[in-house]
């Protein structure tokens, strides 16, 4: 059983997202260790990119801070390699396809394997084009996570049949960001997945409040929170570790 599968075993998984290199590489490493110790089951590390089309203002600004601070893909690989021995939970990269292609997709996946990355999420890689990376991911045992959205329609069952690790269920139309209310029929999306596959379904985009976490956890296999955490990091800079720990501890109590 790999680490991603184990993260969903007999429990609701809490997946935390942070932007790599925000506010700096050293603090990102500290955050990964402390978020894991605070009860997160999986951590997504965003690879900063100059044109993050699926992201709202909070994560866009984090990407800008990371890039201006000199964050590179190689620095992220080195940082993950250093913290991997202190963190047992799955670590994922969330990256747009451009940084992967520029780095070289085979080389990128090889480096992921060498530093201890378990999987990758590519928001701008359509399911129909997953063959662009699937061979390289399989070669280096990197799980390519699939996404579904409220607009996926008939494609939900097709995607679910081929999915591995877990399915990232996008809760709302539009970009990432904190939302006061989520109106999508999440349970129907997940029901369609479960009709053809037993792959876990984790829900993200817009989830921030403990009440939302409780509601989403009731109908899904996991909850993903990004913008709310990244916002705390943006507000506190290098002093963000303790505030993020408090927030994550509060959330993990809601997913138990």
Domain CATH for 107 = 3.20.20.70
pLDDT for 177 equals: 41
Domain contains 6: no
Give CA angle at 28 (24, 34), nearest 5°.
Answer: 145
What's the structural domain count of the chain?
1
Q: Is residue 113 part of a domain?
A: yes
Whether 225 is in a domain gets the answer yes
Q: How far apart are CA 60 and CA 177, in angstroms?
A: 10
Q: What is the pTM of this model?
A: 0.93
pLDDT tens sequence across 203-221: 987 787 777 888 889 999 9
Residue 1 lies in a domain: no
Give the chain as a 3 state SS string: CCHHHHHCCCCCEEEEEEECCCCCHHHHHHHHHHHHHCCCCEEEEECCCCCCCCCCHHHHHHHHHHHHCCCCHHHHHHHHHHHHCCCCCCEEEECCHHHHHHHCHHHHHHHHHHHCCCEEECCCCCHHHCHHHHHHHHHCCCEEEEEECCCCCCHHHHHHHHCCCCEEEECCCCCCCCCCCCCCCHHHHHHHHHCCCCCCEEEECCCCCHHHHHHHHHHCCEEEECHHHHHHHHHHHHHCHHHHHHHHHHHHHHHC
Q: What is the pLDDT of residue 172?
A: 62
Residues near 90 by Cβ (< 8 Å), separated by ≥ 6?
2, 3, 4, 7, 41, 42, 43, 118, 119
Given this model, what pLDDT does residue 54 score?
A: 66
54 and 124 Cβ atoms separated by less than 8 Å: yes
Q: Is 72 exposed, middle or buried (0-12, 13-18, 19+ CB in 10 A)?
A: middle
Mark the ranges of the chain whose per-residue pLDDT is less than 70: 1, 54, 172-184, 254-256
Domain that holds residue 34: 12-255
Does residue 248 sit within a domain? Answer: yes
Query: What is the pLDDT, as a whole number, of residue 254?
Result: 60
pLDDT in the model for residue 165: 96
In this prediction, residue 24 carries a pLDDT of 98
Domain assignment present for 83: yes
Give domain status of residue 5, yes or no.
no
Is residue 56 domain-resident? Answer: yes
Q: What is the pLDDT of residue 180?
A: 45
Cα dihedral across residues 30, 32, 37, 40: positive or negative: positive
């Amino acid at each position: 059983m790999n680490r991603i599968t184990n993260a969903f075993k007999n429990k609701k998984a809490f997946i935390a997202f942070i932007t790599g290199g925000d506010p700096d590489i050293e603090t990102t490493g500290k955050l990964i260790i402390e978020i894991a110790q605070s009860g997160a089951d999986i951590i997504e590390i965003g690879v900063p990119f100059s044109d993050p089309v699926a992201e709202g203002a909070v994560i866009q600004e984090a990407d800008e801070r990371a890039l201006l601070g000199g964050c590179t893909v190689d620095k992220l690989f080195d940082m993950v390699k250093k913290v991997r021995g202190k963190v047992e939970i799955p670590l994922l990269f969330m990256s747009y396809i451009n940084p992967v292609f520029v780095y070289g997709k085979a080389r990128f996946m090889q480096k992921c394997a060498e530093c201890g990355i378990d999987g990758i999420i590519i928001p701008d890689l359509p399911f129909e084009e997953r063959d662009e990376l699937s061979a390289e991911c399989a070669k280096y045992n990197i799980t390519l996570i699939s996404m579904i959205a409220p607009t996926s329609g008939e494609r939900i069952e097709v995607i679910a049949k081929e999915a591995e690790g877990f399915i990232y269920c996008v809760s709302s139309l539009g970009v990432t960001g904190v939302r006061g209310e989520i109106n999508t029929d999440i349970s129907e999306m997940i029901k369609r997945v479960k009709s053809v596959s037993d792959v876990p379904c984790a829900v993200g985009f817009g989830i921030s409040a403990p009440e939302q976490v409780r509601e989403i956890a009731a109908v899904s296999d996991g909850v993903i929170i990004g913008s709310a955490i990244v916002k705390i990091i943006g507000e506190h800079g290098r002093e963000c570790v303790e505030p993020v720990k408090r927030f994550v501890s509060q959330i993990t109590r809601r997913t138990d």
